[in-house]
Amino acid sequence: FLFQKTSSVIAINNTDKYTKKAAAKTTSFDSNSDVLEIDAYSFGVGSYATFAAGKNKKAVKKLARQDFYFLYDQKKGGLYFNENGAEKGFGDGGIIAILKSAPNLTSDNLEFI
């Protein structure tokens, strides 16, 4: 995944690899000022991109059964792409970014382009 930091904007583009090793990683994300800019079109969801956060991985897996495309694990800092919408699991998706120290991430910190 391409992970570029420009001032307070971090860009994430799809590379079709959804593993911890391939996930973009940052240790410097500040939820008070930084923005994750996600190229939703590169993930095939375009203007339909949706986001939800869960308190841990179990909660994120429950949210994956709903129609959210991007999910955040507040405990571990993992950002996931849920490729199959409301079906069980992430489909062909998975982890796309890891925000070290699991900062608070809300829809205010996301910009879908």
**pLDDT for residue 9:** 84
Render 58-94 in DSSP notation, one character per residue. HHHHHHTTSS-SEEEETTTTEEEE-TTTTSSS-TT-E
Q: Kindly state the tokens that stand for 89.
A: 């699991």
Q: With pLDDT > 90 as the criterion, what percentage of the chain qualifies?
A: 80
**pLDDT for residue 3:** 54
2, 5, 14, 40, 63 from 84: Cα distances, Å: 22, 29, 15, 14, 12
Residue 36 has pLDDT above 60, yes or no: yes
For the stretch 73-108, pLDDT in tens is 999 999 999 999 899 999 999 999 999 999 999 999
Do 13 and 81 form a contact (C-beta atoms < 8 A)? no
**pLDDT for residue 2:** 54
Residue 4 has pLDDT above 70, yes or no: no
For the stretch 37-62, pLDDT in tens is 999 999 999 999 999 999 999 999 99
